[in-house]
Amino acid sequence: MAEIYQRAIIMSKKVSVIMGGTSSEREISLISGQTVAQALKTAGYQVGTIDIILFTIFAKVFPSRFNLYKLRSYSSIPNV
């Protein structure tokens, strides 16, 4: 019974993986971020991915309407 309960807790968790960036390691970050996201999905999590460059662009274009607390609005899964 405890195992079923623990599995239910894991299945209800939602996470976002932030990846990308502007350094020369951007492509590696995107690849490893997707790998992490896939592993989390396999483990039963709902996973959203966020490219930090897009996050930065949105923040600059909409500074008064965008902040970290609204990050879930730009994730690929709702209500993260």
Is residue 18 within 8 Å of 73, Cβ to Cβ?
no
pTM score over 0.85: no
How far is 20 from 8, CA to CA, in rounded Å? 31
30 or 69, greater pLDDT: 30
48 or 75, greater pLDDT: 48
Cα–Cα nearest to 50, from 14, 77, 17, 78: 17
Mean pLDDT on 2-21? 75
Mean pLDDT on 17-41? 93
The answer on pLDDT for 67 being more than 90 is: no
How far is 11 from 41, CA to CA, in rounded Å? 10
The answer on pLDDT for 64 being more than 80 is: no
